[in-house]
Amino acid sequence: MSADTDIDSDAAGVPDLHESDVVKIPRGVRLREDKARGGWVLLAPERVFQLDPIAQQVLTRVDGERDVAAIVDDLAQAFAAPRERILVDVRAMLADLITKNILEVA
């Protein structure tokens, strides 16, 4: 029944996501806290993705309004980390989830 998959923040993805793209969580997918087990999860048809802390930081910023560049800027500032490196990681993670039909380009 429920597949149980972890999302790695360094998962390899499809690299054709642009900084100006806006990503959204489509209907049928929900992001919520998982109090019983701790952490956050993405709930999708027949699937539960348990998020690591980095994936949680990225996905809680996916609101269907901010573009990829804005999310990366925000993360770079929040974690005082080099922007280029964050961009690579965020892009890979989002592209991977788009391939799995868990996220959509708005």
Distance in Å, CB of 76 to another protein, minimum: 28
14 is a site residue for another protein (CB under 8 A): yes
SS (H, E, C) the chain: CCEEEEECCCCCCCCCCCCCCEEECCCCCEEEECCCCCCEEEEECCEEEEECHHHHHHHCCCCCCCEHHHHHHHHHHHCCCCHHHHHHHHHHHHHHHHHCCCCEEC
Scanning 45-53, 57-65, 71-79, 80-88 for contacts with another protein by CB under 8 A, the matching segment is 45-53
Q: Which residues contact another protein by CB under 8 A?
A: 1-4, 14, 26-28, 30, 32, 34-37, 41, 43, 45-46, 48, 98-101
